[in-house]
Amino acid sequence: MEKQKSKWNKIIRGIIISFCALIVIYVGITMYFTNHFYLGSTISCVNVSGKTVEEVNEQMPAEVEEYTLELEERENVKEQIRGSDIGLEYNSDGKVKELKDKQNPFGWIIALFDKNDSKVSEVVTYDEELLQTCLDKLSCFDSSNIIEPQNSKFQYTDEGYVILDEVSGNKINKEILYDKVIDAILKGEKTINLEASNCYENPQYTSNSQEVIDTKDMLNKYINSEITYTFGDKTEVLNGATINNWIETNEDLEITFDEKKIKSYIDKLSSTYDTVGKTRDFITSLGTTIKISGGDYGWSISKNDEVKELIEIIKEGQTINKEPIYMQAALAHGNNDIGNTYVEINMAKQHLWFYKNGSLVVQGDVVTGNVNNNCSTPIGIYKLKYKQKDATLKGDNYSTQVSFWMPFNGGIGIHDAIWRYEFGGNIYRTNGSHGCVNAPYELANKIFDNIEGGIPIICYY
């Protein structure tokens, strides 16, 4: 029993001795930190653990004098900004002492885990103009070294559009770098990784951006369009091989159409298939073949309307057969767009024929424009504009009432002329009309009853 009691006494004495030793150590260390900085204390990233304010003030000027900030750039390029180049000087302005005063000597144990009262920065000053000059001289701001960032682009191939990788480049945002450099200098940091610090100007869109992928899909939708234009028995096929040349994308990934190029395509169709004013071979009622041009009859594509409709068709990715939008249509396609319904006026013979669906409806002599007065009826193929009963024809020195009025060229038309007692022959040379085609009442009546607007009127000598 006494042995056990003696054992416990020894344990208790050991604990007391250990505790007292710890107190002595704690008090001793506390006394040390009365004038010395906590362990882990830093002044602008310089370790000042266990040093006095005076020692720190002696150490820091040398640290500042040797200070160099290294810039880590892309492609393993490194550049330096030296403290001596920017007028860097140590100037604590009482901040070092202020830090020490905040460090309660009794709290040195807590400081091992909490570093809030163990750091201070901004104990240096620099020359702003020298710093700006130093930055301006960096090779990364030399225009000959700068590669501009570029968004992902699109390339047309036989398989459709593909995405080209973006160009990261190496252009630096000068304002961001300037702020990062100042922050590093004031904190005493020795390196800045420009990539990690987001100092580079990067492309807005990369090959993995959903917007880029969506745009590529839209472009492919457009070039998958196939439009087959029909011109009677002839066709023109428009597909992606041509359409891709009309499509552009801007930096904001907006898809636009080059309407000038589209209009150029429509102009070619118009040049090939429009027939207004073109020279045609025409077999006359007398069996001869003549060449005739001029007039306003024929096919004429409405170019602006067709451009607009074509863009909408492409945007919808359609595959269709269509005729272009016509400003004016003829009765037939092909070499003979006149068809087999027309009025033929041989002004040399002063005779008129009217055919409908290939059958002769009526024919007869007429009187055309007065040659001696320079009022000849113009040559060409025209379309009948409309027909009107009981019209009054007015000119500079006349006003005439007619029963059947069928204009085809401005104020020139076919009409009855009851004031004439004979037609044909050479009357037109000296006693012709002001340009109209004068017809006997019965002839004009028969034509009027069977003709409709748009039918070609063929005038030739």
Q: Show the tokens assigned to 112.
A: 């091992």
Q: Catalytic: which of 134, 140, 199, 436?
A: 436
Q: Collapsing DSSP states into helix, strand and coil, what is residue 156?
A: strand
- Under 8 Å between Cβ of 450 and 356: yes
DSSP H or E run through 382: strand 380-383
In this structure, the number of other CB atoms found within 10 A of the CB of residue 461 comes to 13
Q: Is 415 a catalytic residue?
A: yes
CA separation, residue 304 to residues 136, 257, 266, 314, 421 (Å): 54, 14, 9, 16, 50
Extract long-range pairs of 157-162: CB within 8 Å, 24+ residues apart. Answer: 160/219, 160/220, 160/223, 160/224, 160/240, 161/216, 161/219, 161/220, 161/223, 161/244, 162/216
- Under 8 Å between Cβ of 171 and 154: no
Q: Catalytic: which of 134, 140, 333, 415?
A: 415
CA separation, residue 305 to residues 237, 265, 313, 323, 381 (Å): 19, 13, 12, 12, 25
Q: How many Å apart are CA 196 and CA 139, to the nearest integer?
A: 19
Q: Is 436 a catalytic residue?
A: yes
The catalytic residues are: 415, 436
